[in-house]
Amino acid sequence: MTKNQPAEGAQEVVYQVRLPLSKRTIDLVAGLIRRRRNQMRSPWRKAEPGLQAVIVLAVLRHDQRLADMAGGNGVGESTVRRWVKEVVKLLAARSPRLDRALKKTARSGGVVVLLDGTLIRTHRRTGKDDRKNYSGKHKAHGLLFLALTDEKGNLIWISAARPGRSSEITTARHNKITEHLREAGLGALADIGFVGLDDKPDDDPVIITGRKATRNHQLTAAEKEANRLVSRERAANEHGFANLRNWRILTKLRTDTRQATTLLRALLVLANSEVQR
């Protein structure tokens, strides 16, 4: 029996790809891995914490195939998968809770935060189970997330994943955002999709939105100008979402809501490590 051999060169070719991340981020992940190994009293691993951190970050940043990363580093595909899950859980544990994030913002002198939602697209599944993930607003399957940023666009909190058919205002009520804002003494700027979220708009308003035109009420020139001012102040919020989407593992999620929540919160920690405005 004969085997096909390449005409020339090695059977396996390994190529290098630039990982556009700072040393601070790599040191952060490597330090978490090192502390985790010390807690487990793990005497030996296939790779040092620094190498494991680079491999995991390459998977998250470039969405590299696990088999490709495994073959290029002399480990098994299941090993790389285990490393990724381990690091994602360690990073997600550092993600701040809503109440703590708002109180920290208030202590640092913040007055207002920016509230918005986004749909992270997912692979479409067959059957009825995936119908709840279809967003009529975006005409696509995905998971809905809410996020809060400061006035400069730095992410401070991200919600748990909700099915794509969920509305942003219902998700905000589920997370009791208005109550936490009042406790922290902060206000929030949001788009017209959050009109009606504030339960005390006249006595103690904490959610500031634009005005929505109706069939019986057209916007005046002053109301249009107010909408433009709110939109201009909210523009920084898009920078926070852009920092998340730089991680190509989010190109299309392949996980359920619980795993997607853990992944997004881990990426929030990494995005804040990379970008601080």
The sign of the torsion formed by the CA atoms of 259, 265, 271, 273 equals negative
Amino acid at 233: E
Q: Could you state, in order of their start, the residue ranges of all structural domains in the chain?
A: 23-92, 98-254
pLDDT tens track for 241-252? 999 999 999 987
Whether the per-residue pLDDT at 260 is higher than 90: the answer is: yes
Mean pLDDT score, 147-163: 93
Assessment of whether the complete model's pTM goes beyond 0.85: yes
DSSP designation for 123: P
Number of H helices, E strands in the chain: 9, 7
For residue 272, give the H/E element and its range.
Answer: helix 257-274
Confidence at 5, pLDDT banded by 50, 70, 90 = low
Q: How many CA atoms lie within 13 A of 97 on its CB side?
A: 5
The whole-angstrom separation of Cα 161 and Cα 144 is 6
CA nearest neighbour of 160 among 270, 267, 266, 260: 260
The whole-angstrom separation of Cα 226 and Cα 220 is 10
Confidence at 128, pLDDT banded by 50, 70, 90 = confident
